[in-house]
Chain A
Amino acid sequence: MTGETVLALRGISKRFGAVQALTGIELEVRAGEVVALVGDNGAGKSTLVKTIAGVNQPDEGVIEWEGRPVAIHRPQDAQHLGIATVYQDLALCDNLDVVGNLFLGRELKQFGLVLDEVGMEKRSRQLLDSLSIRIPSVRIPIASLSGGQRQVVAIARALIGSPKVVILDEPTAALGVEQTAQVLDLVERLRDQRLGVILISHNMADVMAVADTVAVLRLGRNNGVFDKRSTNQEQIISAITGATDNAVTRRQARGEGGER
């Protein structure tokens, strides 16, 4: 099912003043794989994501992209590599319509000067259709969409640049039951399109529903990488809370790591 490793983090560490936010983090994302990144508040999830997205630079460690070490200094660098990030606040412009938001910053042009509205509308519809996203119209302002619809628009926007890895930061945090299901469907469709997905979530049900691999962070360190098929919710929760921080689980985690 999953393919070759697209993105790999090797021994990533990050300090903020006196705080050691990340210590020796290892993470791998393969094409067509959903990696759930879980951990309690302050475990370092956001810092790790910002490091991958180019907002922060790691103090130590290497980011490998398709096997080659790369330097990601700015968010644009990550975008050029093919890493798209959907932040929790979505960063959509309420006053622009769906098409305007999807193509914001990379509009299609005619004659090099004028917006190609027709072309953008056509591509927007194709993109939304291919993801089975239902939006009343691509020409209504974002302000009139529901929370779930905004979330899927934000995810669809991340796909305009044809990325290989998509990072979703708490995509279901503010959503109802139905909308959560829609977003999870979308995550699975991304996987089916051979994208690597990093899903950050506090919601164990969501994680167990779509993730292939669950990477647990605890206090800025790796605390186990679990294959969903051979684990259960209790195991992951105990890894998150640290209840299993003993020799057995450490050994198990090493075993998981060695398999790769």
Chain B
Amino acid sequence: MSGDTPEPGHRPLPEDSMPTGGVNAPVPVAAEATPAVDPRLIVRQEGLKGYLIEFKRRLTSGELGSAPVVVALIVIWAVFGSLNSSFLSAQNLSNLSQQIVGTGMIALGVVFVLLLGEIDLSVGSVSGLCAAIFAVMNVTHGVNQWVALLSAVAGGALVGLVQGLFFAKVGVPAFVVTLAGNLGWNGLMLQILGASGTVNLSGKDIVSRLYSTIYGQQIAAYGMAAAGVVLFLGSSLLDTRRRKAAGVPYRTLTDVLVRTAALAVVGFLVAYTLNQYKGLPLALLVFVVFVVVLEFVLRRTPYGRKVFALGGNIEGARRAGINVSLVRITVFMICSTMAAIGGLFLAAQIQSASQTSGGGNLLMNAIAAAVIGGTSLFGGRGSTWSALLGALVIGSIQSGMNIQGLSNAIQFMITGAVLLAAVVIDSLARRTQKSAGRA
């Protein structure tokens, strides 16, 4: 949140804005000191140099944001790329972009819960449960695929409602409610799957197609990248114009252009890589749309503001008239719904819903992805982009290990170490923020 809109130069305040007051109005300190800018004040300089100074100041004061995960990603890719050239091939990276979607979707929901400073340990089981709901309805009972899809997602929302009610209304710690859920929903999934234990998807259903569709035309990937860049540039310019009109600090044109250029480089690089192989996977596109939309919800809507407020100071939020229970319940519903969606993508990936769906280390990977990506475990700080970045880190490690032919044993240890490193960074950053007066 901090400094999202840095001030390009501190503008002096108009003298006449001061209250005139009565005869005995003392008007002391303020009057003579009008626009004297506090020398301790940090005002970002304009231009590229200002960027670098601001960036450095943020790093040293512990506002790391996504910087560590980006560094980690570069290191991981460099290491695996040097070990085996096929890691950085268009084919592997394209596959990777599809494989991270399931875990990433679940991690998106986890980000919301983490922002409250809570945890949801049931996401793995819920993802398996909802995949089973879809598979059994669509395949075993021949229900319309859309109805089955909506039922699965609604099932996720319902799970969230139940857990949220227990947490927000009854007051059971989220940790315990969702731990019980982890077990209970897994049992329900086994019940639904029945004796056979595995239901294979038809391969032609909506969920399978969502995962496996790849737009082969060159224009698809480039077009999406271009659309994203144009959208970003347009909204930035619009924002600048509104801010100018309102007389509040705004980003300069160079500022906007530099950001747009950075986005364009990343966007077109991804598009180029994808086009080198089969093209733009629909799953990736859906995932990015979810990330952008949910980020918008968090940053630009009153609801998102409430989520952050609860993560910052529950008592303060309550006194500000925020319905704390409602926000908590809806956040758990969002989390479980995203778990359901992630579960569907995971089922599509292996073309079946089975007794092992949602098990294994999926739960830990999803939470790890959110935390590795830079969302704080302590609540109130984070972004949906951390789900994407974190899922990418975990996916990259798994993919690289597989290419190297390393066993699960080594994979688990490395992923565990990365998660520990992420939490250590989070804790250290928090401590630095405190000493730098930013937490």
Contact = CB atoms under 8 A, between A and B. Distances in A.
- Interface range for B: 35 or more
A95 B380 contact: yes
Contact of B313 (A92, A106, A109, A193): A92
B30 A139 contact: no
Interface in B416-439: 433, 436-439
A129 B17 contact: yes
A91 B315 contact: yes
A105 B21 contact: no
A181 B22 contact: no
B322 A104 contact: yes
Contacts of A40: none
Interface stretch (A4-12, A182-190, A230-238): A182-190
B320 A104 contact: yes
A206 interface: no
B150 to A, nearest CB: 24
B3 A189 contact: no
B142 interface: no
Contact of B3 (A104, A134, A140, A193): A140
B26 A185 contact: yes
A115 B239 CA distance: 13
A1 B300 CA distance: 44
Interface stretch (B87-95, B128-136, B241-249, B398-406): B241-249
Contacts of B27: 132, 185
A130 B319 contact: no
Contacts of B302: 107, 109, 115
Contacts of B13: 129
B319 A141 contact: no
A161 to B, nearest CB: 10
Contacts, number: 147
B320 A91 contact: yes
A191 to B, nearest CB: 8
A121 interface: yes
A192 B29 contact: no
A75 interface: yes
B305 interface: yes
B311 interface: yes
A136 to B, nearest CB: 5
Contact of A144 (B316, B322, B438): B438
Given A107-B305, A134-B30, A1 B22 contact: yes
A192 B33 CA distance: 20
A126 interface: yes
Nearest to A113: B301
Contacts of A109: 302
Contacts of A126: 17
Nearest to B312: A93
B243 A96 contact: no
Interface string A155-198: 00000000000000000000000000110010011001100000
B170 interface: no
A122 interface: yes
B71 interface: no
B308 A129 contact: no
B19 A193 contact: yes
A144 B319 CA distance: 22
B360 interface: no
Q: Chain B interface mostly helix, strand, loop or mixed?
A: loop
Contacts of B438: 141, 143-144
A125 interface: yes
Interface centre among A113, A192, A193 (most CB of B within 10 A): A192
B54 to A, nearest CB: 12
Given A104-B309, A114-B301, A130 B437 contact: no
B29 A75 contact: no
A92 B316 contact: yes
Contacts of B21: 188-189, 192
A249 interface: no
B312 A114 contact: no
Interface string B381-405: 1000000000000000000000000
A139 B19 CA distance: 24
A97 interface: yes
A107 B242 CA distance: 18
A114 B300 CA distance: 6
Contact of A95 (B1, B28, B33): B1
Contact of B309 (A79, A93, A132): A93
Among the interface residues B27, B316, B436, B437, which one has the most CB atoms of the partner chain A within 10 A? B316
B301 A91 contact: no
A67 B398 CA distance: 72
Nearest to B63: A141
B41 interface: yes
A100 B33 CA distance: 27
Contacts of B42: 136
A119 B309 CA distance: 20
**Residue of A106, A139, A181 with highest tally of chain B CB at under 10 A:** A139
11 contacts: A93-B308, A94-B439, A105-B320, A105-B322, A122-B247, A136-B38, A137-B7, A139-B2, A139-B3, A139-B4, A192-B22
Interface of A: 1, 75-76, 79, 87, 89-97, 100, 104-107, 109, 113-115, 117-119, 121-122, 125-126, 129-132, 134, 136-137, 139-141, 143-144, 181-182, 185, 188-189, 192-193
Going nearest first, the 4 A-B pairs with the smallest beta carbon separation are A93-B312, A105-B320, A91-B316, A132-B30
Given A115-B302, A121-B248, A192-B19, 7 more contacts: A93-B317, A104-B316, A104-B317, A114-B300, A118-B243, A136-B43, A141-B1
